[in-house]
Structures are given as structure tokens and as C-alpha cells.
């Protein structure tokens, strides 16, 4: 009947929308320096509400990277980071996601480093998941460092190597501060016992009281007094339990996810020759003598629940771990999410035919190349200002050379006439 199709609104399949922000899952994110805080930690936790221009800009340009503040890592890392992290890209570890922290500037938030009487400063690495560790290496920029120049490997001096250590959420690094004055950079490398490492840049200011190597007073003879220990500290409480108490897995966590995989990791059990049995949603899916497990063939965007138990040659399976929940990464969306919309109206209707107009709009601030679907009543006999894929039924319309794109506040119009 006449005027039956007053208005129809359709959502377009839209192409050529560049620069949409993906939302990476942060399951692989693991740690950064908390004291002195890294640039990411400062911006994420101390300057979210403003107060530092560089952090403000980071929040504006890539807030997701700040929510993933603990994700500056390299998969495939060796103990020679200078082989795969180029000069100028140390703070981001050459990851474009975090490119903004490479910005050389003396305006980043900085922490004043005041050593204790022995010339030491207790630094703290913060991890969202525990790991056994190959080492933490702490570097400080050499005297004469210019914070307004890109940070290069040749700027750094290694001042501390923790060696192997298990980590919990917080790992203290007792570092002897070298003699420095003014603004410097503390660079920290956290190497895991496999090809993976995390990196962190902290802006610091030395207050000039540095000991220059733990010699607070000139001592002519070697003194028997307790001195700063640089090597491993004997730990009297580190005896493994000798009784066969039920073993619970410590530190089970989702180490990494992709669309089709979940990687679990945990800390080694004290049990000799332990085998770890992995369950997904209550079903055994495998076992391993390693402290990690890769579950493959999963569905994107899906939740899974995992537990791990220790199985010993003598004692069978022991107490089950607390469960961890993992969500595989979402599948890539086929279409960008910012559509163009068409609103149709009848211009005139004479029963056996009609003419209609379509107005295409978008809320996108970027130009959108539009294509919109139409459901044509009857058969199109003439059209203007659009490129039509057919003349009846389901038809798509795109722009012509002068109106191929729309932008917020800049709509496009097309029209057609049809007979019934």
C-alpha cells in the first residue's frame, strides 16, 4: 500500500576504517618496577587523573597499554637483549604498543633515590604472577646521561644481577647505588628460565649522597664488621619439608592466551620426580614434568577452568590446586565496529510507483567509505548519487565518485525511483 515503507534504518557493512583499537587480553602481562616505579607504573597508578603531560598524552593515545602496564615483554628473549631491542626502543622493548614510553624527556615523573647508610637502595619488582627466574638485572645510566636523548644500550651500566630466584608478587632487589647526580634511568630486565623476558624503565633522581660502591668511610684495613652482602644471602628457613604432606601447586596462573590456546604455568613442587596432572573443566587433558602446560585447539572468546595436581611415583595424585579461569582471545571481528547508517524516506508515491531518498550518516570522526543495504519494493527505474548493486529485492548502495565517504556531520544522500 501507499507509504507503507515510511522509514527503514539499516546498518551498513563499512570498509576502510583505519586505526580501530583492538583490546588485547592482558593474560600475558606480568610485571614491572614498582620502586622506583616504571614510566608505565607511574602513569597507570600515580598519574591516571592528570598531573604529568607525558602520562596525559599516553592516556589519550593508548589507554589500553596503560591498563596492560605489566606487559612489556619479549617472547623469544635471550640474555643478550641488545641483540633484539634496538637503541631508542629500550623502554618499550621494541613493542609498538608501548612506543610512548620510549619518548626521551626530562619531564617524566621521577623518583628520588636516597641510599641507606650502607649505600644501598631496596628496589622492588611487582609481578601479577609468580615465576622462577633466571635473573633480574638492574642497569643505571652512566654519568653524563642526557634524558632528552634516546636511551641506548651504551648509556647503561649493569649494577646488579640477582641470579636465580623464585618470585612472588614482590621481589626485592637490594642494589648498591653507584655515584651519580641528577636525573638518570634505572633499566631492569626480568629474565624467565625460558626464552621470555620483561623490561622496565624508571626515571630517577640521585640526590648526590650515593656511596659510589658501598664505601661510606675510607677504611684502611679490611674490617671484620658486618658489611653489605652482595652475594646470595643464606636463608635458614629455606629447608624443603621432609614429610610427605599433601602437595598443593603454588603460583598456578594463566601465563598467556591466544584465540586457540591457553598456557598455564606454576611453581615447581618440592616433590622429587613430580608429574603434574592438568585438568580442564574437570577432565584430565594431560600431564607433564615441566611447570607449564599448553592447552591447544580451543575456541576463541571462551572461558575455561583449569586445575593442576602433583602426582608422585609413590604417592599417587595429591591435593588439587585452586582453579584458575582463562578466557581465550576473541576472534577478530569481521567488520569494523563503527558503522554508517541509512535512513530512507519516500519522496512521492503514486500507487504503481514511488521515489525514495536515502541519507547516510555516521558518528565516526574519520571518513567512512559507506555501503548500505536496501530492501527495494518493486523495481528501480532510475537512481542518482549512488552505485546500486541491483534493481530489486536486496540491493546494496555505495557512493559515487563525489560522495564515497561520510564523516560525523557530513552525510551523503542518494535516491531512486521504482515501479511496483
User: What is d(CA 344, CA 180) in angstroms, rounded to the nearest whole number?
Assistant: 71
Q: Which is nearer to Cu ion, 265 or 397 (CB)?
A: 265
Neighbours of 145 (CB within 10 A): 18
Q: Which is nearer to Cu ion, 129 or 271 (CB)?
A: 129
Give backbone dihedrals phi and psi of 156, rounded to 5 degrees, phi first.
Answer: -100, 145
Residues 6 or more apart from 214 whose CB is under 8 A from it? 118, 119, 120, 176, 227, 228
Nearest distance from C-beta of residue 253 to Cu ion, angstroms: 6
Distance of CA 101 to the CA centre of its chain: 13
Q: Which is nearer to Cu ion, 128 or 302 (CB)?
A: 128
Check binding of 265 to Cu ion (CB under 5 A): yes
Q: Give the binding range for Cu ion (CB under 5 A) out of 102-110, 230-238, 260-268, 395-403.
A: 260-268
Of the residues 255, 276, 370, 403, which one makes contact with Cu ion according to CB under 5 A:
255
Nearest distance from C-beta of residue 192 to Cu ion, angstroms: 8
Nearest distance from C-beta of residue 168 to Cu ion, angstroms: 12
Check binding of 264 to Cu ion (CB under 5 A): no
Nearest distance from C-beta of residue 327 to Cu ion, angstroms: 16
Nearest distance from C-beta of residue 254 to Cu ion, angstroms: 8
Q: Which is nearer to Cu ion, 134 or 344 (CB)?
A: 134
Q: Which is nearer to Cu ion, 113 or 129 (CB)?
A: 129
Nearest distance from C-beta of residue 36 to Cu ion, angstroms: 24
Nearest distance from C-beta of residue 28 to Cu ion, angstroms: 8
Asked if omega into 36 is within 30° of 0 (cis), the reply is yes
Residue number, nearest CB to Cu ion = 255
Check binding of 129 to Cu ion (CB under 5 A): yes
Q: Which is nearer to Cu ion, 190 or 416 (CB)?
A: 190
User: What is d(CA 65, CA 87) in angstroms, rounded to the nearest whole number?
Assistant: 21
Q: Give the binding range for Cu ion (CB under 5 A) out of 109-117, 248-256, 358-366, 384-392.
A: 248-256
- Cell of residue 152, nine digits: 641506548
Check binding of 274 to Cu ion (CB under 5 A): no
Q: Which is nearer to Cu ion, 58 or 252 (CB)?
A: 252
Q: Give the binding range for Cu ion (CB under 5 A) out of 111-119, 229-237, 261-269, 299-307.
A: 261-269
- By CB atoms closer than 10 A (0-12, 13-18, 19+), residue 333 is exposed
Which helix or strand (DSSP H or E) is residue 40 part of? helix 39-41
Q: Which is nearer to Cu ion, 257 or 364 (CB)?
A: 257
Q: Which is nearer to Cu ion, 72 or 265 (CB)?
A: 265
User: What is d(CA 385, CA 41) in angstroms, rounded to the nearest whole number?
Assistant: 53
Distances in whole angstroms, Cα of residue 333 to Cα of each of 23, 81, 323, 329, 341: 11, 35, 30, 12, 19
User: What is d(CA 278, CA 269) in angstroms, rounded to the nearest whole number?
Assistant: 14
Nearest distance from C-beta of residue 326 to Cu ion, angstroms: 12
Check binding of 324 to Cu ion (CB under 5 A): no
Asked if residue 148 lies in contact with residue 102, where contact means CB atoms within 8 angstroms, the answer is: no
Q: Which is nearer to Cu ion, 247 or 256 (CB)?
A: 256
Nearest distance from C-beta of residue 245 to Cu ion, angstroms: 26
Count Cβ neighbours within 10 Å for each residue of 357-387 and write b for 16 or more, e otherwise.
ebebbbebeebbebbbebebeeebeebebbe
Neighbours of 168 (CB within 10 A): 12
Which helix or strand (DSSP H or E) is residue 56 part of? helix 53-67
Question: What would the x/- binding string for Cu ion be over residues 74 to 113, using CB under 5 A?
Answer: ----------------------------------------
Nearest distance from C-beta of residue 299 to Cu ion, angstroms: 22
Torsion of CA 225, 226, 227, 232, to 10 degrees: 150
Which chain residues interact with Cu ion by CB under 5 A? Answer: 129, 255, 265
Amino acid at each position: 500500500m501507499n507509504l507503507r515503507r515510511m522509514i527503514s534504518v539499516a546498518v551498513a557493512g563499512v570498509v576502510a576504517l583505519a586505526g580501530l583499537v583492538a583490546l588485547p587480553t592482558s593474560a600475558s602481562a606480568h610485571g614491572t618496577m614498582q620502586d622506583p616505579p616504571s614510566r608505565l607504573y607511574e602513569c597507570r597508578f600515580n598519574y591516571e587523573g592528570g598531573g604529568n603531560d607525558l602520562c596525559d598524552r599516553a592516556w589519550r593515545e593508548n589507554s589500553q597499554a596503560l591498563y596492560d602496564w605489566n606487559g612489556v615483554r619479549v617472547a623469544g628473549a635471550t640474555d643478550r637483549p641488545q641483540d633484539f631491542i634496538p637503541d631508542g626502543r629500550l623502554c618499550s622493548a621494541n613493542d609498538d604498543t608501548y612506543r610512548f614510553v620510549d619518548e626521551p624527556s626530562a619531564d617524566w615523573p621521577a623518583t628520588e633515590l636516597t641510599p641507606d647508610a650502607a649505600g644501598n637502595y631496596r628496589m622492588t619488582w611487582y609481578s601479577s604472577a609468580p615465576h622462577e627466574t633466571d635473573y633480574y638485572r638492574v642497569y643505571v645510566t652512566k654519568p653524563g646521561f642526557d634524558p632528552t636523548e634516546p636511551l641506548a644500550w651504551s648509556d647503561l651500566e649493569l649494577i646488579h644481577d640477582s641470579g636465580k630466584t623464585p618470585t612472588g608478587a614482590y621481589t626485592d632487589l637490594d642494589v648498591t647505588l653507584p655515584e651519580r647526580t641528577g636525573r638518570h634511568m634505572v633499566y631492569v630486565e626480568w629474565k624467565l628460565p625460558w626464552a621470555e623476558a620483561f623490561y622496565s624503565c624508571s626515571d630517577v633522581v640521585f640526590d648526590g649522597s650515593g656511596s659510589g660502591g658501598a664505601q661510606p668511610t675510607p677504611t684502611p684495613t679490611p674490617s671484620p664488621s658486618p658489611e653489605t652482602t652482595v652475594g646470595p644471602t643464606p636463608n635458614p628457613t629455606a629447608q624443603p619439608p621432609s614429610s610427605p604432606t599433601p602437595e598443593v601447586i603454588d603460583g598456578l596462573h594463566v601465563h598467556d592466551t591466544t584465540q586457540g590456546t591457553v598456557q598455564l604455568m606454576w611453581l615447581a613442587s618440592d616433590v622429587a620426580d613430580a608429574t603434574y596432572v592438568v585438568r580442564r573443566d574437570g577432565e584430565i587433558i594431560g600431564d607433564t614434568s615441566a611447570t607449564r602446560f599448553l592447552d591447544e585447539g580451543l575456541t576463541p572468546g571462551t572461558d575455561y577452568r583449569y586445575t593442576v595436581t602433583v602426582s608422585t611415583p609413590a604417592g599417587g595424585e595429591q591435593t588439587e590446586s585452586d582453579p584458575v579461569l582463562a578466557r581465550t582471545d576473541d576472534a577478530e571481528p569481521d567488520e569494523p565496529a563503527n558503522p554508517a547508517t541509512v535512513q530512507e524516506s519516500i519522496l512521492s508515491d503514486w500507487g504503481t510507483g514511488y521515489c525514495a531518498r536515502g541519507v547516510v550518516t555516521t558518528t565516526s570522526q574519520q571518513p567512512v567509505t559507506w555501503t548500505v543495504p536496501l530492501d527495494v519494493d518493486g523495481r528501480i527505474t532510475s537512481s542518482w548519487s549512488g552505485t546500486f548493486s541491483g534493481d530489486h529485492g536486496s540491493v546494496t548502495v555505495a557512493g559515487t565518485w563525489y560522495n564515497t565517504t561520510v564523516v560525523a556531520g557530513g552525510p551523503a544522500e542518494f535516491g531512486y525511483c521504482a515501479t511496483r
